[in-house]
Chains A and B, each alone.
Chain A
């Protein structure tokens, strides 16, 4: 009897060690997909660098103009798109005017995708925002940092027309906006070159405009020195940065949801490692005895 029991138990650990990996895959799918459906507001510790970006936007008085440069492509969507959405929610809530542009060809399209999402919100709908008055999308212009430099003299030089082909002079929002002197903040979402570093070097250092940014997790640490010197108000780093921004904003969105998935998934992996090791050690002990 006893012997039989032992055999059974042994086979349990053995089975656990040789578990079909599809079961592990299933756990990961559930760990990631399920939290996406819950609107959980997880308490996310906020870092000072992320708070810097939030405060730079929060402190602008209503009616201020923000130039938002979208310098990334679909490859960085999971990390940067939540920041883009949170930014628009933030800007529209505080009645800021947004001028969208891009140094990457797909950047302004990413902005449009984010806008579509944000316009579903009841609060935003209620504001009845109008293109050309509350926000405008200038589109993409080739030339990397040269564009940044030229816009210091005149936006019209780089963008004679907006993304839809309307001359800038005919857009109400752009009236009186000649160069960086007429915007109150630049907000930059960047996944590489050209990106935040170029904005610091060619816009902040030369024209003394304020800059706040969001970057991919890989790139963000390289921007910390600029935050330290004050050239950059703050930087959001990766999905976690997006979640911090949403937490500060009080509107938990994609990133917070994503972060919840992320945390659960990490916990599940750690749990699997622990189970694997328990099985491994009990097997070894048995074999030794």
Chain B
């Protein structure tokens, strides 16, 4: 404890000085705009004809700060002289003002999105609500010609993204399912839940560790708290930790991410408290190893061979390290329960561990282990969601076979 505090107090001022020093040393400079020089050459061949019908409008479904420019191709693009190489889009705040190049579109393109930054002070700032004028330059072989200047246009933000309606409908539908079944569960309606082998094995696995007097190893995966699989793993950890506290076994959690370490510490502490054994909680068993994938594996493999845990849990986000961990664990003779939503890694867990929670089962696990009716209600909601998807699947296949375009359009999402 003393070492920890010493580190903490001594560290902060050192850290601040370090930051200031490093900042001064670093070459801070805002992004530089790179100008482009066009080489004009005297030539006997005529320049490509200018594009026509240049229009500028606000880009729909955004938060402002973007204008879309469209034009009709130059007659020399692909046909005529055929010497158009690209189009340059230029912008000015006055029709007769100075035009600056905003971007480039290859020949054959008929539109360009002039995307600006939304922060004042940024070199690329494009204010909303200010009128701009555009022209389009057809370029080829060092020669160019400009279109007429467009009518003014300004960018403005929209309050609803029209392309996302299917997502809104889905969000509302699934939230409703979940809420309805949570309410029903609160009222005491009994819900049937089919048994899952991986979940049933949890108690047995913890019991085995107690009998053998060996610790349990819990791996949260390679994800950080920015992944739902990791958060799902935290919720499972809280159930597992409570059982571990009940059985009075030790749980080891080497973490690959300091935030995961902090959350895991909070979770396990709370679980021990809930089990009525806060004195048994050992924070030093939940520690940071390293954030780099294979170094983390090397470290965990070492722990497995030296501590010989009775049971290993691998729940969360896993990548190529899945099999390295699972095979070493089986070498060390541990019972292993795994689960991930990373599809490419599920096969390795299926092959090398004793029980595997496949995809959605990982997300259902904490509800299964908690056995609280409210959480089970959300599972029932999930099933209703699946039923809707399956109906859509069948109807969709029929619609596609008989070419009912209307149905297909229901799923159109604009990104």
Contacts and interface: CB of A to CB of B under 8 A. Distances in A.
Is any CB of A less than 8 Å from a CB of B in the complex? yes
Interface of A: 21, 146, 149-150, 152-154, 201-202, 205-207
Contacts of B168: none
B85 interface: yes
B106 interface: yes
A37 B330 CA distance: 34
Interface residues on chain B, size class: 10 to 19
Interface string B81-95: 000011000000000
A153 B107 contact: no
Contacts, number: 19
B331 A206 contact: no
Contact of A21 (B39, B106, B331): B331
A21 B327 CA distance: 10
B331 A207 contact: no
B43 to A, nearest CB: 14
B18 to A, nearest CB: 27
Contacts of A207: 85
A194 to B, nearest CB: 16
Interface in B89-129: 104, 106-108
A206 B39 contact: no
Nearest to A157: B37
Secondary structure dominating the interface of A? helix
A202 B104 CA distance: 10
Contact of A149 (B39, B104, B108, B331): B104
Given A152-B85, A153-B36, 13 more contacts: A21-B331, A149-B104, A150-B36, A202-B106, A205-B106, A205-B107, A205-B108, A206-B85, A206-B86, A206-B104, A206-B106, A206-B107, A207-B85
Contacts of B34: 146
A150 B34 CA distance: 11
A193 B34 CA distance: 22
12 contacts: A149-B104, A150-B36, A152-B85, A153-B39, A154-B39, A201-B106, A202-B106, A206-B85, A206-B86, A206-B104, A206-B106, A207-B85
Nearest to A208: B85
B325 to A, nearest CB: 15
Secondary structure dominating the interface of B? loop
A176 B238 CA distance: 70
Contacts of B104: 149, 206
A264 to B, nearest CB: 21
A149 B85 CA distance: 12
Contacts of A153: 36, 39
Contacts of B86: 206
Contacts of B331: 21
Contacts of A201: 106
Contacts of B108: 205
Give 4 closest A-B pairs by Cβ, nearest first. Answer: A206-B106, A205-B106, A206-B86, A206-B85
Nearest to B104: A149
A46 B172 CA distance: 53
Contacts of A205: 106-108
A283 to B, nearest CB: 20
A198 to B, nearest CB: 12
Contacts of A154: 39
Contacts of A146: 34
B368 to A, nearest CB: 32
Nearest to A153: B39
Contacts of A150: 36
A201 B86 CA distance: 12
Contacts of B85: 152, 206-207
Nearest to B330: A21
A202 B34 CA distance: 18
A201 B108 CA distance: 12
A146 B36 CA distance: 11
Interface string B31-65: 00010100100000000000000000000000000
Nearest to A181: B141
A206 B34 CA distance: 20
A207 B107 CA distance: 9
B406 to A, nearest CB: 29
A149 B34 CA distance: 13
